[in-house]
Structure 1
Amino acid sequence: MAQQAFKVASQEVTTYINRYWKYSPSPLSIRQLMDFGRTATSQDSYRYLRCELPIRLAHIMKELHHLPNILMEMPSVQTLNGWYSQSLSELIEFREKNADNDSDCMVDKFTDLIHNINQRHSTVIETMAKGIMELKTVVKNHSLDHSSLQYFLDRFYINRTSMRLLITQHLTLFGDEEPFKRHIGCINPNCSVMKIVESAAEDASSLCDQYYMAAPKVEIEEHNAAGNLSPVTICYIPSQLHYMVFELLKNSMRATVEKHIEGYSELPPIKVIITAGKEDIVIRVVDRGGGVPLNKLDVVFSYMYSTAPDPQQSLFDAERSESISPMAGYGYGLPLSRLYARYLNGDLKLSPLEGYGMDAYIYLKRFSVNANEVIPVFSEAATQRYKFGNLSGDWTCPQ
């Protein structure tokens, strides 16, 4: 009986997925989120989210179901699929069965629901990471389609980030979560980049000192080239910016200590340069940790790669900044950092000097109106990518 009920529920979820992925998501900019937070009511937020969240869920679940069956059979991935299916079913209750009811009582019920969804999905990153590790134990690396898996995980994690931002913004503005002073939801309209870098450097130094009994100094410079000498500020989500800078500094410190700890009386410092131009704000991290060969850059950003043993602690998550990050482990720090940058129309790039060190760059949009959500949309192109892998076969391939 239970198995039959599960089958019916699965069929119902599949129907919802096939219905809602045909709608296009409605991405927002940081400016829109901030303006919405200043003027909107809880009913306004409810009406937007009850329509938007099922669409974003359906798009990523459609892609999830195009993954190889062997990955879908992994226990952790099945658990994750169950969470997403339950969340979609619960959201549909408000999208379809209560479409004309936006009373205070209904808004309160919805707020409670998305709070529960937020809690349910709080370990999605770790759970998917476990699923990949489970897959690696049963499938030899050479038989995995790394490019398609990387393609999916980039899109999956950005979708997850976008949903958590929308939910957290609603809960902070209209729920029981306490907002930070001068924040609009989880957005700081005047986020000091220098203070974020200083905080991230302090956290990374403390962690490095715990592991190696030593940590290089961090020297920070700030240059506002946008026409004034005021400190560089940005309208941004502080937790995400802290995560990106922390991960770069953590990696730089680890590389620096491991390269220079023997035979050197003093570790070379790590330099951070913050610049503000007319369009972009750039954070540059420079170390002397030895760098990597150019052909290893793609590997560094791979979710299947880590130079460290399996972690004993949970992944650091930008939405749960109270967690403690291991010095290295899953290998997700750089891939997730790049996703956070790209999610709001920025980027994160590495420029190695093999044998000497690494230059890392975080690019952010200076104006909030240009910091638009960049989120995945399921399409026929995605289907072809999962079916045939990387289709760009019109270039020579050096061995």
Structure 2
Amino acid sequence: IGSTNGCERTSFAFLRQELPVRFANILREIELLPDKLLSTPSVKLVKSWYIQSLMELVEFHQKSPDDQKVLSEFIDTLIRVRNRHHDVVPTMAQGVIEYKDMFKVDPVTNQNIQYFLDRFYMSRISTRMLMNQHTLLFDDKSRSGHPRHIGSIDPCCDVVEVVNDAFQSSKMLCDQYYLTSPELKLNQVNGKLPGEPINIVYVPSHLFHMLFELFKNSMRATVEFQENSPSLSPVEVTVVLGQEDLAIKISDRGGGVPVRKIEQLFSYMYSTAPRPRMDDGRQTPLALSTESVEKLPVFNKSASKHYQATSEADDWCIPSKGPKQTAAL
């Protein structure tokens, strides 16, 4: 639904069916979490947000799409739901931290939480994308200021421009925190025409967010690892356009990651960054083809089994927990 078929009634009819289904699916999976995790104040709060939003959206199931007042009320509800869920990610993360602090996390529980959060955050991205698209297209107060954009989508997204914007935002944060920051070394390969920027159909805000998180990690590692060096090595970025995909490679001289920790890097229960203060939202800690098919989590018997699976005994030895510290003489 966009430039050629931007019908508000059609979008309304689709979303009043689709959004409740997605909210209901994820609520069923929340119920499968360990009882002790479900009992944390933060997870209880997240669950209450989803229940309230589901009930508000279901109210539109029998309403007519031909009534302009209904369409306006639906937009107001979408904005209210979106605002209510603004802090879902840090609140759910706080719930996991509360659980981790109170109870020992065994491998099975860790595996279940990992499975759930992958699906939970993917579902959240999908619902926010749908709500944002509808409001940006059909709400006069929310319309995008860029005439080229179709809702939140840029049909000619300049990848290098977004890379530079994300790097400069991270650099400013790094300068504030460390009083120094590395420079950017950027190279783009396989542009459609020599000297012309690489453009793709994409959501610039999503690309910016991913790059911003990666640059923060890269800069923090570089500054801390090279704190005694006379100058900092640059963060190198290579943007490559393939026949079907676009790849962005970010590399740095920040010390790397020990092999024994590689498997932990994509675990929600692991972080090398200092724990953020939940009471201060103003400071961000320095610490994430032509046609596509949306991949979505669906609640069913197969999903339920993932929360009931037991972990078999590991048949590999446990690597050392780190280099031994030798006392100075």
Same fold (TM over 0.5): yes
Contact 2:108 2:310 in 1 (8 A): no
Determine helix, strand or coil for the equivalent of 1:291.
coil
Return the alpha-carbon distance in structure 1 between the equivalents of residues 259 and 303 of structure 2. 28
Q: Does 1:122 align with 2:81?
A: no
CA-CA distance at 1:38 after TM superposition: 3.6
Q: Which residue of 2 aligns with 1:149?
A: 113
Whether the 8 Å contact between 1:37 and 1:185 is mirrored in structure 2 is no
Matched, 1:237 2:158: no
Whether the 8 Å CA contact 1:225–1:278 is kept in 2: the answer is no
Question: Which one is further off, 137-146 or 117-126?
Answer: 137-146
The residue that corresponds to 1:83 in the other structure is 49
Aligned-pair CA distance for 1:368: 4.4
- Shift of residue 144 of structure 1? 6.6
For the Cα contact (< 8 Å) 2:60–2:74, is it kept in 1? yes
SS of equivalent residue, structure 2 residue 60 = helix
Contact 2:34/2:109 (8 A) holds in 1: no
Q: Distance in 1 between matches of 2:316 and 2:192?
A: 43
Does 2:274 align with 1:369?
no
Corresponding residue number in structure 1 for 2:327: none
Give aligned-pair identity as a percent: 40
How much does 1:89 deviate?
1.0
Change (3 A) 1:223 1:143: closer
Q: Map 1:240-259 to 2 at 5 A.
A: 240-259=206-225
Q: How big is each residue's C-alpha offset from its partner over 1:275-321, in whole Å with a ceiling of 9 and x where there is no partner?
A: 111111111111111111233123122211222322136899xxxxx
Q: 2:72 aligns with which of 108, 113, 135?
A: 108
Tell me the distance in 2 between the aligned counterparts of 1:324 and 1:46.
37
1:169 aligns with 2:133: yes
2:40 is aligned with 1:74:
yes
Judge conservation of contact 1:145–1:389 (CA < 8 Å) in 2: no
User: Could you say if the C-alpha distance between residues 244 and 101 of structure 1 is closer, same or farther in structure 2, counting changes exceeding 3 Å?
Assistant: closer
Distance in 1, matches of 2:205 and 2:191, equals 25
- Whichever residue aligns with residue 286 of structure 2, its letter is M
Q: Unmatched 5+ residue regions in structure 2?
A: 319-329
> 2:158 maps to what in 1?
192
Structure 1: runs of 5 or more not aligned: 1-32, 317-322, 329-333, 335-366
Deviation at 1:380, TM superposition (A): 1.3
- Counterpart CA distance in 1 for 2:184 and 2:4 is 37
How far 1:178 moved relative to its partner?
2.9
CA distance change for structure 1 residues 249 and 314 in 2, over 3 Å: closer, same or farther? farther
C-alpha separation in 1, matches of 2:267 and 2:170: 22
Residue 184 of structure 2 corresponds to: 218
Q: Which amino acid in the other structure matches residue 208 of structure 1?
A: C
> 1:310-349 to 2 correspondence within 5 Å?
310-312=275-277, 325-328=284-287, 334=288
Q: Deviations over 1:9-68 (max 9, x none)?
A: xxxxxxxxxxxxxxxxxxxxxxxx5xx354221111100000100111111111111111
Q: Which residue of 2 aligns with 1:274?
A: 239
Q: How does 1:86-97 map to 2 (within 5 A)?
A: 86-95=52-61, 97=62
Residue of structure 1 in register with 2:230 after alignment: 265
The question of 1:291 aligning with 2:252 is answered: no
Is this contact kept in 2: 1:192–1:232, CA < 8 A? yes
Contact persistence 1:313–1:326 (CA under 8 A): no
CA contact (8 A) 2:192 2:198 kept: no
The equivalences for 1:22-61 within 5 A come to: 33=1, 36-61=2-27
Deviation at 1:225, TM superposition (A): 5.2
> In the alignment, which residue of structure 2 is the partner of 1:381?
302
Report Cα offsets for 1:176-220 as digits up to 9, x if no partner.
213131110011110100100001110111111111111111111
Supply the distance in 1 between the matched residues of 2:200 and 2:153 (Cα, whole angstroms): 10
Secondary structure at 1:216 match in 2? coil
Root-mean-square deviation (CA, aligned residues, Å) is 2.2
CA distance in 1, matches of 2:159, 2:39: 43
Paired residue secondary structure (2:91): helix
State how many pairs are aligned: 316
Query: C-alpha separation between the residues in 1 aligned to 2:199 and 2:77?
Result: 35
CA distance in 2, matches of 1:375, 1:301: 19
Q: Separation in 2 of the partners of 1:114 and 1:327?
A: 32
